[in-house]
Amino acid sequence: MAPKRGQIVEQLRAEIVSGVLAPNSRLPTRSELEHRFGGSSVTIQRAVDQLVQDGFVCSRPRSGSFVASHPPHLCRFGLVLPGRPDSPEQWSRFYTALCGEAQAFDEPSDRFQLYYGMGGDAVKPGHANLLHDLQNHCLAGLIFATMPYNFPAGVKFNSWTCPMLGIMAGPVPGIPAIFPDWGSFLDRAIGHLLANGRFRIAVLTVSLPSELIMGRLAARQLNTPSYFIQYAPVNSVEGARNVIDLLMRIPIEDRPDGLIIADDNLLEQASMALMSSPHGVAEGIHVVAHCNFPWPTPSLVPVRRLGFDTGRILRLSLDLLKQQRQGASCPALTLVPAVFEDELKANREIS
């Protein structure tokens, strides 16, 4: 950007961000801007065009240029994703659900800008786009969909600190966290299975700590063998299927009669194994399956879906970012409780 045009853009943007030029207020006329900045009509027009492109200004035919009613520094929130949908090794169904819910937000006062492929050290196009938007006050806050590796917490851009939040198990210095409450997920899943007369409960997961799982089972006086807790990779086609096949080969008197699939990335393959097993559905194994609502994973067998409302996670994230903007303190860690599918539907109908 030419130096003169950049100076004009920066000054007008600063007046909008500071509130000197309020939302919906009219910008000075082109001739007034030419006189104020000593720039040509072409330079002024290009500066205004840049502000329009960044979302700070809108042009109304025969009326002039106005500050946007919902400028980006107040209403646009960045969602930073570590991978891309076309890169399965860096993607999960949780990211799909987050993106789907973010794109479903249609309130002008709360909208999302997605930044893909932000994991690792390599400089990628997403990094440059994010840096541009931060430097130019185009974001009201930033949500990291994972641990913000290599990103400086509390970094300032032109004396402005962007509010930040991470969807991660614990906070890092300067960045509070929001995360699904997996303890509540296990408690509710186990409680449901016990209420249905299932006492030999197996768990299939990607990364939940075995200590957490065994502790929750032991709290219900369940003497669970360690091999009932099984792990499978997120993107392994065969992993979940093979694990379930092995569990179903245990003699019937020792075989699990209840199964918790604690990651929706594993459900499709696990349900295929249960369907094809001569002992799975036939012997009446009862399944509780994790879900990132409202984006369920297909299942070939009946399951009771239990999980986390990704829309609620995003709404709570926005509330926490707005608290930061207003200078209020927000908790270092906010946990989102697990809900069953019927509860989620009832809550959404009430709201």
Beta strands in 270-349 (DSSP E): 286-293, 304-309, 333-336, 339-340
This prediction's pTM: 0.90
pLDDT of residue 350: 54
Mean pLDDT for the stretch of residues 207-233: 96
pLDDT above 80 (res 328): yes
Confidence of residue 118 (pLDDT cuts 50, 70, 90): confident
Residue 198 DSSP label: -
Q: What token pair was written down for 264?
A: 């929706």
Tokens at 109, concatenated: 């006062």
Backbone Cα Rg of the chain: 25
For residue 122, what pLDDT is reported? 47
36-93 residue pLDDT tens: 999 899 999 999 999 999 999 999 888 889 999 999 999 999 999 988 888 888 899 9
Q: What is the pLDDT of residues 156-213, one digit of tens each?
A: 555 567 899 999 999 888 899 999 999 999 999 999 999 999 999 999 999 999 999 9
259 phi/psi in degrees, rounded to 5: -135, 130
User: Identity (one letter) of the amino acid at 153?
Assistant: A
10 Å Cβ neighbour count for 40?
A: 12
Task: Please tell me the least confidently modeled range out of 124-133, 201-210, 215-224.
Answer: 124-133
Residues 37, 15: Cα–Cα separation, whole Å:
14
The model's confidence at residue 151, banded by pLDDT at 50, 70 and 90, is low
Q: Above 80 in pLDDT, residue 152?
A: no
